[in-house]
Amino acid sequence: MICMFNRIIGGTDEQALAYDLSRAHSADVFFLKMRAWFWGTVSAATLFFVGNLIGAYGYNILGEAWQAIVDTWDWI
């Protein structure tokens, strides 16, 4: 069980990965897919949380970007 979480969360070196992919069987492909899903889910949840915090503190990223474009256009 511990080995499974280590393969999903942790990384491997490039030679081991190339060897595994050259001799890939269903378990190797499964662990690669699960690792991608795990880190994709973690990164998406983190980015949603950070975006929510930015909005909660009143910083409007899209409004600031649009205002910068308008100011640049007016300057030209």
Looking at the 3D structure of the chain, how many domains does it have? 1
pTM for the whole structure: 0.52
Contact 8, 31 (CB under 8 A): yes
pLDDT tens for 7-49 read 666 666 667 767 766 766 777 778 888 999 999 999 999 999 9
Mean predicted confidence (pLDDT) in 51-58: 88
Q: Which amino acid makes up residue 28?
A: D
**Domain of residue 65, residue span:** 2-75
CA 44 to chain centre: 6
